[in-house]
Amino acid sequence: MRPLGRIPAGVPRVIGGVFSFWWFVGVGVGLATTSLLGLSLFPGRARAMVDRLEAFGGWAVAFAGGVASFLLIAAASIVFRLSVVFLPLVGVLWTAGLLAVLFGLACLALAMGRRLRRLLGDAHPLLAGLAGTLIICDLALIPVAGPVILGLFVLTSLGLTVVTRFGSPYGWGLEELKW
Amino acid sequence: MTESECHELRQRLEPLVDRELDQETTARLEAHLRSCSGCSKAYEEAVSLPFRLWALRAPEPPPALVPAVMRAVGAAARLERPAVWTRPLIWAPLLAEGGLAGVIGLYLSGVAGVAALARATVGDLGALWGWSVGFSSPPSDFSADLVVVVGALLLMVVTIYHLALLARQRAHEQGRQT
């Protein structure tokens, strides 16, 4: 039984197990839907994040921030795991990380779509985001290198969301506490 | 009316319109204007408002000007900025973070130990969920180890400091852009 279908008897199982054709289609459609939903719900924040990404050194800062954020989540999970009281925070932390990765991926897709738009001509920003999402899905399907590329994208998207504080116009800092 | 007088008037038409000539020259050229219909017509055009507004227009830049300026500005900006890979604020803390993570990972018996810890944490989260709805016992105590705890706390401090540096780098870049 496959997630979205069944391979008939006699058909050679070129791709078996979990990674069936319909699994890939399901992941692609799910990622595209999530990206478009994120871009539609938070267009201003997405634009701020993409602008930050396209600034000088934006990709490097996002990637370094992603590695730091991943290690921070891992270390915080260990520390929270120590106590039954703080154990639920591990779930909150992982959920927040997952949401940050999803929204960051949408913004990476939008940035790639904007670059495509400069090359191929004008298009709606959501179409640009969709094109970027498809590019990420296609890159992730490359044998052997695909998971590595996807991992780099995930780290960069996590860092982009954290460093830009979810696309806030202001960076991290205590200045906002002053009034 | 001579050809040389017409030539002189055409040469001095703009200063004449702007009243920048001396009285003698002005009087002579005005006398010529009264006797020459062609120069008089040119003078009327020169003093007309549309002509003077047209003269004030900025000249159209050649099409290659803007790309050339952008290329020159971009090259100057690239020379001014240090390469991304040589920025210590971005990459140096990663060395400390990688070292700490490596120590913790080795102490936990490598990838297998880290994966076992992650699986145990997931299992504990599930147990906590079941416990909170009354279907299971509370999660077991974590066998804490001082090395792991201190390493994790140090790693948290370093990563938070690193993220603060990256955020300040962002503010610095924005300041430079403005």
pLDDT digits (tens, 9 = 90+) for A60-115: 999 999 999 999 999 999 888 877 678 889 999 999 999 999 999 999 999 999 88
pLDDT by residue for chain B (178 residues), tens only, comes to: 677 888 888 888 888 888 888 888 888 888 888 888 888 888 888 887 767 666 666 667 788 888 888 888 877 766 666 666 667 778 889 999 999 999 988 888 888 888 888 888 888 888 877 776 666 666 666 566 788 889 999 999 999 999 888 877 755 555 555 4
pLDDT digits (tens, 9 = 90+) for A112-158: 998 888 777 777 888 888 999 999 988 888 888 888 999 999 999 99
Angstrom distance (rounded) from CA B149 to CA A83: 12
Task: Quote the pLDDT of residue A2.
Answer: 46
Three-class SS state of A177: helix
Sign of CA dihedral A21, A24, A25, A26: positive
Q: Give the one of A67, A72, A82 whose C-beta lies nearest to B142's C-beta.
A: A82
Angle between helices B88-107 and B146-177 (to 10 degrees): 160
Do residues A67 and A155 lie in contact, with contact meaning Cβ atoms separated by under 8 Å?
yes
Q: Give the one of B121, B144, B159 whose C-beta lies nearest to A68's C-beta.
A: B159
Task: Quote the pLDDT of residue B154.
Answer: 94
Question: Against a cut of 0.90, is the pTM above it?
Answer: no
pLDDT digits (tens, 9 = 90+) for A1-10: 444 445 556 6
Query: For an interface test with A, which of B121, B153, B158 has the most A Cβ atoms less than 10 Å from its Cβ?
Result: B121
Task: Quote the pLDDT of residue B80.
Answer: 65
Q: Which residues of B123-145 are buried (b: 16+ CB within 10 A; e: fewer)?
A: ebbebbeeeeeeeeeebeebeee
Q: Which tokens hold the place of A45?
A: 């924040």
pLDDT digits (tens, 9 = 90+) for A34-62: 999 999 999 888 998 998 888 878 899 99
Task: Mark yes or no for CB contact A72/B124 under 8 Å.
Answer: no
Chain A: residue whose CA lies nearest to B81? A56
Q: Which tokens hold the place of A95?
A: 């959920």
Do residues B173 and A55 lie in contact, with contact meaning Cβ atoms separated by under 8 Å?
yes
Task: Quote the pLDDT of residue A4.
Answer: 44
> Could you tell me the CA-to-CA distances from A143 to A32, A121, A150, B111 in Å, in that order?
21, 31, 12, 23
Do residues A153 and A36 lie in contact, with contact meaning Cβ atoms separated by under 8 Å?
no
Residues from chain B contacting residue A57 (CB–CB below 8 Å): 84, 87, 90, 169, 173
For this complex, say whether ipTM is above 0.85. no
